[in-house]
Amino acid sequence: MTGIATPDDRQPNPRPTAAHPEPPGIGVTTALAALGIVFGDLGTSPLYTYQTIVEDIGGHPSAANALGLLSLVVWTLIVTISVKYCGLVMRADNHGEGGILALMSLVTKRGADHSRRGAAVLIAMGLFGAALIYGDGIITPAISVLSALEGVNVATDVLKPFVMPAALVVLLALFAAQTRGTASIGRLFGPIMLIWFLVIAALGLFGILKHPAVITALDPRHGITFLAHHGWRSFIVLGGVFLAITGGEALYADMGSVGRAPIRLSWYCIVLPALLLSYAGQTALLIQSPGLTSNPFFKLAPGWAVIPLVVLATVATIIASQAIITGAFSLTRQAMQLGWFPGLNIRQTSDREYGQIYVPFVNWTMMIGTLALTFGFGSSDRLAGAYGTAVSTTMLLTTALLYNAMRDLWHWPKPLALCVSGGFLIFDLAFFAANLLKLKEGGWLPLLLGIFIFLIMTTWRRGVDAVRARLAEHEMRPADFLANLKEGNIPRVHGAAVFLSRSGIDIPLVLVRHVAEMKALQETVVSLTLVFDEIPRVADEDRARVERIAEGLWRVTVRFGFVEVPSLTVALARAQEHGCPLNLDEAVFFAARDEVIRSKTRPRLAGWRRVIFAFMYRNAVRTPDRFDLPADRFLEVGRQVEL
């Protein structure tokens, strides 16, 4: 049922409709929404970034080293987030949608000069980058919530033994709440994050007033001097500096939720100034108290404000975690629609907000991984060693894909594209190398998970292609079947039937087998093919294409975008408007239920891939559940497919 459209099948940018409105414009409401949806990860990074950096350099930094560290953080935020992501990467949107999968789809679709091998390399980079996001998704909630709750240690050591158990409870409640959706509480995310940014900005300003000289860190020479003075040891520090920008990829992936302009407005006017003030305030505190051992973020607050700040920080980290969980749901849906993931159960949790979905399998799998990491590492500083490897790799791959966007989409001259992307590549490679030093500290975990998911995605795609190729060998020529139908060799009986076709041919094999077994055919028959286009949404008027093949026999092709939850009943209702006389209240739906077995003659898959694919194929969500079909009028025809 899932498939990728051929270049000739792809639809133009759909016109806005009530169901698929235009992307939001710039406004207070959308900018506020961006704070809650997009900037949770970036906004809570001050909780653990500086604590990790100070530990990486052995503690007690000198004033010159502290200014150098701040300079590195400042210019990393400016170059990577302000220039690379907000300035350039977000320009590479796939009809308003962002994320590395959308970018991969865009550059492979538009790149006319790519060879087959070159396109395969781009696809592999996009898939591996997407797979790594799942690794980031299980670490972000753990490190964020732990770092927030650890703030109580600044006020008292009495509660220290309860921090990790409390984090487990918060995370368990967070994942359990996903079944209800976030449409109702989501409206509060923006205002709460606005309060958070105002608070961290105020605390940072309070720290700066104690040592105003920290503003000189805006001079990049402080950072360059630090790197030159510390040599190879500075790579260790860069691993900590990178924690300040780990939410950059999530920013791009969430672009479709609120639009490009509100994200930029929120970043430049609220988020970036607040982050710079917070990091500068922590630096001033370190210079003033060089022997500081506690988390400098919470030390900025007066004693009476520590506990309220911990509460606010915990709420902010819950919002940040919610954003990464929702992003994982959206990424899964995109991978399914583009044919890189098996069918999973997806629930729409809101009848008003399209993007509110829930994927049970992904949710519970991430929950187990997050709780295991929280329990296993026990503290945010230990978990920081595992954080960053996945995101730094994804950012590196995004830069490689961005070069192709510069050349193929924006038609930049090659020297300019090489110069700009090469500059970003220097930053990305430095952070990538720095995070590789964390492999022994736990950095191997997200990479291993990413490799596993990448193998799952490629195995699924190869298996589906192999099934289609094998079935094509046994398909009946449409002309022969139509000739039998026209000559009256196939009796017609009252009723309506819809036969789901994977291959998109006029006469699917399941229809032929039905006639062979039943010795008759319903008077109204539809051969239905579902195609997922490489655009986010398909306009309603382009949803269905209807062709009359023979008397009482129709071919219907329905299309959905890669971010849509498909409903075949709604699509077939649209087909009725195009002249298909199908009575949906009495139609019976037929589909094949394939069992993958080993081929004794010509194996099409390696043995290990066949085992994995057969397991996924057997356990993929059933067709009526995924495509909104009436289960009481759905029949499956079993068959064996040799691979």
How far is the C-alpha of 269 from the C-alpha of 265, rounded, in Å?
A: 6
* Domain-located, residue 22: no
pLDDT at position 354 is: 52
pLDDT at position 186 is: 61
Q: Do 434 and 574 share a domain, yes or no?
A: no
CB 149 within 8 A of CB 170: yes
* CA angle centred on 404, ends 402 and 407, rounded to 5°: 115
Strands (E), 39-117: none
Backbone conformation region of residue 26, classed left if phi is above 0, alpha if psi is from -120 to 50, else beta: beta
pLDDT at position 221 is: 93
Q: What are phi and psi of 559, to 5 degrees?
A: -125, 145
* Domain-located, residue 15: no
Residue 114 CB neighbour total at 10 angstroms: 18
Please name the residue that has the structure tokens 């200014």.
67
DSSP secondary structure code for residue 501 in this structure: E
Domain of residue 618 covers 469-642
Q: Do 436 and 475 share a domain, yes or no?
A: no
* Domain-located, residue 461: no
**Which tokens go with 344?**
């999973």
Quote the pTM value: 0.81
* Domain-located, residue 93: yes
How far is the C-alpha of 234 from the C-alpha of 240, rounded, in Å?
A: 10
Please name the residue that has the structure tokens 């830069």.
399
3-state SS record for 513-564 = HHHHHHCCEEEEEEEEEEEECCCCCCCHHHCEEEEEEECCEEEEEEEECCCC
* Domain-located, residue 405: yes
Q: Which of 331, 387, 343 is nearest to 127 (CA)?
A: 331
Q: What are phi and psi of 287, to 5 degrees?
A: -70, -40
How far is the C-alpha of 582 from the C-alpha of 498, rounded, in Å?
A: 9
Sheet-wide strand order for 588-597: 544-550, 553-560, 521-532, 492-501, 588-597, 634-642
Our count of domains for the chain comes to 2
* Domain-located, residue 27: no
Q: Do 171 and 286 share a domain, yes or no?
A: yes
How far is the C-alpha of 317 from the C-alpha of 126, rounded, in Å?
A: 28
**Which tokens go with 179?**
């079944």
**Which tokens go with 324?**
């990464």
Q: Which residues of 588-617 are buried (b: 16+ CB within 10 A; e: fewer)?
A: ebbbbebebeeeeeeebbeeebbebbbebb
- Going 443 to 448 to 451 to 456, the CA torsion angle's sign is negative
Q: Do 409 and 485 share a domain, yes or no?
A: no
Domain final residue pick, 424, 441, 458:
441
Residues pairing with 588 in the sheet: 497
SS3 595: strand
CATH number, position 217: 1.20.1740
Residue 179 CB neighbour total at 10 angstroms: 11
Q: Do 170 and 315 share a domain, yes or no?
A: yes
**Which tokens go with 527?**
């051969």
How far is the C-alpha of 136 from the C-alpha of 325, rounded, in Å?
A: 10
Q: Do 296 and 429 share a domain, yes or no?
A: yes
For strand 347-348 and strand 357-358, is the pairing parallel, antiparallel, or unpaired?
Answer: antiparallel
Q: Do 495 and 635 share a domain, yes or no?
A: yes
How far is the C-alpha of 525 from the C-alpha of 476, rounded, in Å?
A: 17
Residues pairing with 557 in the sheet: 529, 545
Q: Which of 565, 175, 181, 180 is nearest to 362 (CA)?
A: 175
Q: Do 411 and 523 share a domain, yes or no?
A: no
pLDDT at position 149 is: 92
How far is the C-alpha of 214 from the C-alpha of 285, rounded, in Å?
A: 10
Please report, for residues 146, 180, 428, 606, 611, the alpha-carbon distance to residue 435 in angstroms, rounded to integers and kept in the order given.
21, 37, 11, 34, 34
Q: Do 629 and 566 share a domain, yes or no?
A: yes
CB 533 within 8 A of CB 10: yes
Please report, for residues 32, 497, 530, 543, the alpha-carbon distance to residue 566 in angstroms, rounded to integers and kept in the order given.
30, 20, 9, 11
Residues in the chain predicted with pLDDT less than 50, given as ranges, are: 1-25, 112
Q: Do 278 and 348 share a domain, yes or no?
A: yes
CB 611 within 8 A of CB 571: no
Domain final residue pick, 422, 441, 460:
441
* Domain-located, residue 17: no
Residue 356 CB neighbour total at 10 angstroms: 18
DSSP secondary structure code for residue 352 in this structure: S
Cβ burial, residue 311 (10 Å; 0-12/13-18/19+): middle
Question: Which tens digits make up the pLDDT trace of 233-271?
Answer: 888 899 899 999 988 888 888 887 778 888 999 999 999
* Domain-located, residue 519: yes
How far is the C-alpha of 429 from the C-alpha of 422, rounded, in Å?
A: 10
CB contact set of 70 (below 8 Å; sequence gap of 6+):
214, 217, 222, 279, 280, 283
CB 336 within 8 A of CB 2: yes
Q: Do 222 and 272 share a domain, yes or no?
A: yes
Q: Do 435 and 491 share a domain, yes or no?
A: no
Residue 169 CB neighbour total at 10 angstroms: 12
**Which tokens go with 288?**
């003033």
- What is the identity of the amino acid at 441? E
Give the helix, strand, coil percentages of the chain, each rounded to 5. 65, 10, 25
